[in-house]
Structure 1
Amino acid sequence: MDKKNKINDVKKYSKIGIDLGTANLLVYVDGEGIIFNEPSVIALEYSTNEVIAVGTNAARMIGRGHHGIKIVSPLNQGVISDMIAAKKLIEIAIKKAENTDINLSASTVLICCPSEVTQIERDSMVDLAKNLGVPDVFIEEEVKAGGIGAGLDVYSSNGSMVIDIGGGSTDIGVLSLGDIVVSESLRIAGNYFDNEIINYMQYKHGLLIGKRTAERIKEEIGSLRKVVDPSKNSYANGRDVVSGLPRKIQVTQEEVRDILLEPFESIVNSILKVLQKTPAELSADIIVNGMFVNGGGALIDGVDEYIKDKIGLEVHIAKNPLTAIVEGTKVLLQNRGNYFVKPVD
């Protein structure tokens, strides 16, 4: 084998980090950075199962398709619900890398998952990677990757607390010496908030709205602050449950806040459970360092104020809440199996 071919063979090996989220799929490739950051949605032709669109383009089709197209979200509450669709989605995402010579059959893949998934659910993620032809795959918890990606030194003996409010689940963990000491996971997160908005609109206003509309309302005027802006409103377009005709209504920020308070109360209760199980020395560190919030839920206005008011500790929003997990995979891929030594930059 000549020198040129040897160089090409080296290029084919890659370290790949995957944040396989319910709401978004992010893929990191060593040497190239984040190559894919789009919704975890894929549109397939119903009869042939051929891919029509993935990511953002597929998400635009939600609620607008016809009988010839099926639009699939391969994950439900952080767990793979459609193995075939998940495999196709990841294959297409990885192909977007500039290095088209990536050879999955000679690569290492890290997949991040919620802390409390069962062994069967973890095995299904490993099976997914094996079906892609990956020989070397390992699983890490999202809360650990998110803490690293947020810039926390989880490899020190100093305790850190991370709250990751994603699309399908909320993960809460205390990290020290390179791993999770105490954790809690609950299936209340972004998608749950959207469904609560949908239910409220139906029963309070007699209006049927879609998931995308609920998500837009949450992003535009979602708030947890004690005092909301009375002039800050949004709108909801949908179908009247009585007449069946299209109707548009105004939605106030106060209404959305009241919808979000109950699920966030459940999240706070889970945070309290973790704190009650945390060793005393690490509790002392958390008092000094505060808590760090990742995930799409971190972008809801006033989430830090709400948690601080309920818990009594400082709360910090990560600088990169949407990409912290996949950015943390860079360190985990370099430092696999080593809890104490920081990886080389």
Structure 2
Amino acid sequence: MIADIGIDLGTSSILVYVRGKGVIIKEPSLVAFDKDSNTVKAIGEEARQLLARTAGNVVPMRPLLHGTISDYSVTEKVLKYFVQKAMGKRMLKKPFMSICIPSQVTEVEKKAVEEAAYAAGARSISLVEEPVAAAIGAGIDISKPAGSMVVDIGGGTTDIAVISLGGTVASKSLRVAGDDFDEAIIHYIKKEHHMLIGDKTAEHIKIHAGAVYPLIEEEVIEIRGRSLDTGLPKQVSVSSREIEGALHEVTEELIQSVVGVLEKTPPELCADILERGILLTGGGALLRGLEELIQERTGVNTIVADDPMKVVAIGTGRYEEVIGGRRQPR
């Protein structure tokens, strides 16, 4: 049975794919939690808007941290919310559901995802490894006996895998990803410019001046924050060259992991990868210069997938249609 719904349960965003409709939901993986009443006040985009205008007892919470469930009961509510939003509150029957997971999660973590999904109303479940889902979503025929390499850079985890005959041959799940890019920028601005900035400003810098490989023309933007010296508002200029240096340590760990997976790959599949190239997916793949840097360090042609933020959700929803999965009945 082909999945009715596929869910990319990410650290930063949750995307939902519905059979016949495509990706219909993309919202923050965020919960507004009331500490006084110990209740969930809002989920997803509603939570983001509520938290922007509420302080004190209502605090932000992420149901997943680095690709693993941080709070089971909250994750159950999040899944139920998005399933009902995608399928309608008056579901005539429970949906067949596929959910993507990092490539090296433990059996305990898999069980937690399954239990949360069943509690959210799933009829049966397939768990799909993120790199496999990314490859399917990008249009790669993974059923063939040829090697394909995918690097999926999400918000909390980076999954690197070589795929052949529908499964992973060599892989690594790295707890270094898009959120770490933001944290590195925040640390750099604090250290070099003596200024405090928030997550939103760090993401703005990453998008508009972020680069991990020298740009043809250096870019400079103005940012605002709070001075560490005076406590007053402050404005400074930040260049793409500065951010390249700020992100060096994080990107170096990512590059070394890519190289490590290639070193564990059988020679025949390495030859396939040299011919096919390395595919980058996930929101982190949009960081400028990353494909050039990986290509320079590995000697393998590297490309970013079309619409890289959606390919995992698409592949998760289409997994059984393409290859068939090990469904978890109940």
Q: TM-score, normalised to structure 2's length?
A: 0.91
Distance in 2 separating the partners of 1:178 and 1:128: 26
**Higher Cα Rg, which structure:** 1
1:311 maps to what in 2?
298
Q: 1:151 aligns with which of 128, 139, 142?
A: 139
Q: Which consecutive unaligned segments of at least 5 residues does structure 1 have?
A: 1-12, 340-345
Taking every aligned residue pair, what percent have the same amino acid on both sides?
Answer: 38
Aligned to 1:172: 160
2:80 alignment counterpart: 91
Could you tell me which residue of structure 1 aligns to residue 308 of structure 2? Answer: 321
Aligned equivalents of 2:52, 2:185: Cα separation in 1: 16
Displacement of 1:130 in angstroms is 2.2
Q: Which runs of 5+ in 2 are unaligned?
A: none
- 2:205 is matched with 217
Match for residue 333 of structure 1? 320
- CA distance in 2 between partners of 1:278 and 1:128 (Å): 34
Greater relative CO (CA pairs within 8 A, separation 6+):
2
Maintained 8 Å contact 1:223/1:303: yes
- Relative to 1, partners in 2 of residues 1:52 and 1:315: Cα closer, same or farther, differing over 3 Å? same
Shift of 1:315: 0.5
CA apart distance, 1:35: 2.2
Counterparts of residues 264-303 of structure 1 (less than 5 Å): 264-303=251-290
Local SS of the residue matching 1:96: helix
RMSD: 2.2
Q: Aligned pair in 2 of structure 1 residues 254, 61: CA closer, same or farther (>3 Å)?
A: farther
Write the deviation string for residues 249-287 of structure 1: whole angstroms up to 9, x where unpaired.
221111111112221111111111111111111111111
Deviation at 1:53, TM superposition (A): 3.7
Matched, 1:259 2:246: yes
- Partner of 1:196 in structure 2? 184
Q: Would you identify which runs of 4 or more consecutive aligned residues in structure 1 move more than 6 Å?
A: none
How far apart in 2 are the matches of 1:333 and 1:223? 37
CA distance in 2, matches of 1:201, 1:228: 23
TM-score by length of 1: 0.88
After superposition, the C-alpha distances for 1:168-192 in whole angstroms (9 at most, x for unaligned) are 0111111111111111111110001
| Post-superposition offset of 1:240 | 1.7
Distance 1:14 1:142, change over 3 A: closer
Distance 1:16 1:62, change over 3 A: same
Whole-angstrom CA distance in 2 between matches of 1:245 and 1:60: 27
Identify if the C-alpha distance between structure 1 residues 32 and 99 changes in structure 2 by more than 3 Å, giving closer, same or farther: farther
Q: Which residue, 104, 108, 123 being the options, matches 1:120? A: 108
In 2, distance between residues paired with 1:23 and 1:125? 17
Q: Is 1:132–2:120 an aligned residue pair?
A: yes
Q: 2:102, 2:108 → 1: CA distance?
A: 13
CA distance in 2, matches of 1:115, 1:296: 17
Is the CA contact (8 Å cut-off) linking 2:10 and 2:156 kept in structure 1? yes
Aligned residues: 325
Kept in 2, the 8 Å contact 1:163–1:172? The answer is: yes
SS of residue matched to 2:274: helix
Match of 1:15 in 2: 4
1:21-57 deviation line (CA, Å, top 9, x unaligned)? 0111011122332221111112233333555443234
Superimposed CA distance per residue, residues 132-177 of structure 1 (whole angstroms, 9 cap, x where no aligned partner): 1324122111000001101111011121110111110111111111
The aligned counterpart of 2:221 is 234
